[in-house]
């Protein structure tokens, strides 16, 4: 398990997402087809839609876990590579960095739509940078730390089951008129699946600062500022990034004309385009720290099981 997670993480950092036949994209297409038959503006219909797709993904993971032992490590490594999105997230942020440094605001407003759901049409360079940094923080937790956590906890079923949950949240879990009721189950299950990994991300971010004083400051900012954020998981993660970077995140965002106050996160000056590269480097350190934590935890738990103790 540990070897498979490490190999998959390395493949994601080096190669990024598969360019063709991406299994997550295939899952999304299947979910879109199923929605044609399962959709109704009711929570019950959305819950059934979620149960069929997430249950199917977990079932696939259970079936793959029965492969012959020599195939289990490469299969787990391939699955980890497929469900992680750290390299692709870094590429999108680096593209935003280049566009803003070139003063291409129109290009940056178009590109940021790959990362956030807010309306970017009237955002200036600093607000676009804030959107990018907040996405690096939140999506770093969703696309790197959470899959690693669930892979360490539950192996292949955990990896593919979590990715199914997170993908469905991105597809139907938002508060649009169409999905306000149908997407309720997807949003709530995603909140539940990310609750522990989000706190793990906070811990990894604190450790990634490299000093005890800065780690303590990170925790202090999270405790003080995260409750102002409407998301129970994005709030702590973004507050931790704000503290680690020494910048201020949060504020007002517009979603389809509906304003939402994300609170004030951190004590520093507002984010500028120069902070995007720093956020990307921080996210990479957080990913490595999280990998070390979950792999070490997996090994220690396995070693502590009574059935694995050496007989005297």
**What are the pLDDT digits (tens) for 122-131?**
899 999 999 9
Structural contact between residues 92 and 131, judged by C-beta atoms closer than 8 angstroms: no
pLDDT-based confidence at residue 311 (cuts at 50, 70, 90): very low
Higher pLDDT residue, 191 or 15?
191
Whether residue 311 lies inside any domain: the answer is: no
Structural contact between residues 108 and 255, judged by C-beta atoms closer than 8 angstroms: no
Whether residue 310 lies inside any domain: the answer is: no
Whether residue 312 lies inside any domain: the answer is: no
Q: Supply the pLDDT for residue 22.
A: 84
Q: What is the mean pLDDT of residues 14-26?
A: 83
Assessment of whether the complete model's pTM goes beyond 0.75: yes
Per DSSP, what are the bridge partners of residue 249? 265
Give the phi and the psi of residue 272 in degrees, each rounded to 5: -125, 170
Task: Give the chain's domain count.
Answer: 1
Structural contact between residues 138 and 234, judged by C-beta atoms closer than 8 angstroms: yes
* Residue numbers of the domain that contains 102: 2-305
Q: Supply the pLDDT for residue 262.
A: 82
Is residue 128 classed exposed, middle or buried when 0-12, 13-18 and 19+ CB atoms within 10 A define those classes? buried
Q: Reply yes or no on whether the pLDDT at 312 is more than 50.
A: no
Higher pLDDT residue, 257 or 34?
34
| Residues of the chain above pLDDT 70, percent | 97
Kindly report, residue by residue over 169-189, the tens digit of the pLDDT.
999 998 788 999 999 999 999
Kindly report, residue by residue over 58-67, the tens digit of the pLDDT.
999 999 989 9
Higher pLDDT residue, 19 or 171?
171
Kindly report, residue by residue over 222-274, the tens digit of the pLDDT.
999 999 999 999 999 999 999 999 999 998 887 766 777 888 999 999 999 99
Whether residue 105 lies inside any domain: the answer is: yes
Structural contact between residues 278 and 92, judged by C-beta atoms closer than 8 angstroms: no
Structural contact between residues 43 and 182, judged by C-beta atoms closer than 8 angstroms: yes
């Amino acid at each position: 398990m540990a070897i498979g997670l490490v190999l998959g993480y390395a493949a994601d950092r080096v190669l990024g997402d598969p360019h063709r036949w991406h299994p997550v994209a295939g899952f999304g297409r299947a979910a879109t087809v199923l929605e044609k038959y399962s959709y109704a503006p009711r929570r019950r219909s959305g819950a059934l839609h979620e149960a069929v797709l997430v249950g199917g993904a977990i079932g696939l993971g259970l079936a793959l876990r029965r492969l012959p032992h020599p195939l289990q490590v490469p299969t787990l490594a391939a699955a980890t590579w497929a469900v992680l999105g750290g390299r692709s997230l870094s590429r999108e942020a680096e593209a935003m960095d280049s566009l803003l440094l070139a003063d291409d605001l129109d290009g940056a407003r178009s590109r940021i739509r790959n990362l956030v759901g807010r309306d970017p049409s009237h955002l200036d360079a600093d607000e676009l940078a804030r959107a990018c940094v907040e996405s690096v923080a939140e999506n770093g937790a969703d696309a790197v730390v959470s899959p690693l956590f669930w892979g360490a906890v539950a192996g292949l079923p955990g990896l593919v089951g979590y990715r199914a949950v997170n993908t469905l949240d991105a597809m139907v879990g938002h508060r649009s008129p169409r999905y306000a009721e149908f997407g309720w189950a997807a949003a709530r299950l995603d909140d539940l699946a990310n609750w522990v990994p989000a706190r793990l991300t906070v811990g990894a971010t604190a450790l990634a600062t490299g000093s005890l004083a800065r780690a303590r400051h990170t925790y202090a900012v999270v405790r003080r500022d995260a409750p102002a954020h409407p998301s129970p998981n994005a709030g702590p993660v973004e507050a931790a990034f704000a503290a680690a970077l020494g910048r201020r995140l949060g504020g007002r965002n517009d979603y389809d004309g509906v304003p939402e106050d994300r609170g004030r996160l951190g004590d520093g000056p507002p984010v500028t385009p120069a902070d995007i590269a720093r956020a990307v480097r921080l996210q990479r350190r957080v990913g490595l720290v999280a990998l070390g934590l979950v792999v070490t935890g997996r090994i220690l738990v396995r070693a502590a099981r009574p059935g694995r103790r050496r007989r005297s």
